Homo-oligomer: A and B are copies of this chain.
Amino acid sequence: MAIPRAARTQRRTRIQEEKEEIILEAALDVFSVSGFRGSTIDQIAEVAGMSKPNVLYYFRTKEAMHRALIDRVLFTWLEPLRAFDSNGDPESEIRSYIRRKLEMARDFPRESRLFANEMLQGAPHVEDELRGPLKALVDEKAEVIRSWARAGKITKCDPYHLIFSIWSTTQHYADFDVQVRAVLGQDHSGEGRFEDAARYLEQLFVDGLRIRHT
C-alpha cells in the first residue's frame, strides 16, 4: 500500500528526493506568478510533467507545497542580511549587501516574486516568521547601523527604513521586471540593466549616507 509522504518518518528514497525537487521547482514557477489562490495543482502537475494524483502523493495538499516552498525561500532569502558584518567597514558592508541582494533579484526572481505575492496577500502563511525570526534579525542589524552612526562613520538615519529601502530597491528588479523592461525599452533590457542598477544604487546609498571614506 502506498504511504503518502507526510506520514513517513523514515529516511527518504532517491525517487522521493528527485520528485519532490521537481515538484517544488514546478510549484515555484506557478506560485510565483499566480500567487497561492490563483495557482492550481493541475498547473503544477503539468509543469512538473506528472499527473495530479502523483503530485499529491508527495505533497498531500496545495498548502503543503506552498509551505515547503516558503520555508525554503525564507531561509535563503535572509542569507545576505545575516552576512551583514558588524565588524566590517560600513561602506563596504552596505555596498556588498546591495550587490548581494541585487544578484539574488537577478538569479532568483521567482523566489522574490513568491515572497512578494505572500506579502501582498497579507502574509497569511508566514506572519509569525515575520514577527519572530525576521524582526529579531532586523533588530540586530539595525542596532549595528545605529552604532555606526553613533561612531560618526555614517550619517544618522533611521536604520529600519534604510533596510526597507535596500530591500525595496533591489527586489524591485525581480518583482517589477516587466515594468522595468517595458520602460527601459529593448535597448537596455539586457542583463546589463543589473549592472546599471548596481552602479546607481551604490552611488545613491553610499553618497546618500555620507559615508566617510577611509
- How far is B180's CA from A54's CA once the two chains are assembled, in angstroms? 39
The one of B37, B175, B200, B204 in contact with A37, judged by C-beta atoms closer than 8 angstroms, is B37
What's the number of copies of this chain in the assembled complex? 2
A99 within 8 A of B: no
- State whether B200 touches A130 (Cβ < 8 A): no
A158 located at the interface, meaning its Cβ lies under 8 Å from any Cβ of chain B in the complex: yes
Q: Which residues of B contact A205 (CB under 8 A)?
A: 204, 208
Judge whether A147 is part of the interface by a CB distance below 8 angstroms.
Answer: no
Binary interface profile of A, 24-48, with partner B (CB < 8 Å = 1, else 0)?
Answer: 0000000011111111000000000
With a cutoff of 8 Å between Cβ atoms, the chain B residues found around residue A113 in the complex are: 120
Interface string of A194-214 (1 = CB under 8 A from B): 001101110111011110000
Q: Is the interface of A mostly helix, strand, loop or mixed?
A: helix
Task: State how many residues of chain A have any CB contact under 8 Å with chain B.
Answer: 59
Q: Which residues of B contact A135 (CB under 8 A)?
A: 182-183, 185
**Alpha-carbon gap, A184 to B142, bound state (A):** 11
A34 closest partner in B (C-beta): B37
Contacts of A68 in B (CB 8 A): none
Is A131 on the interface with B (CB-CB < 8 A)?
yes
Chain B residues with CB under 8 Å of A201's CB are: 161, 165
Whether B121 contacts A34 by the Cβ 8 Å rule is yes
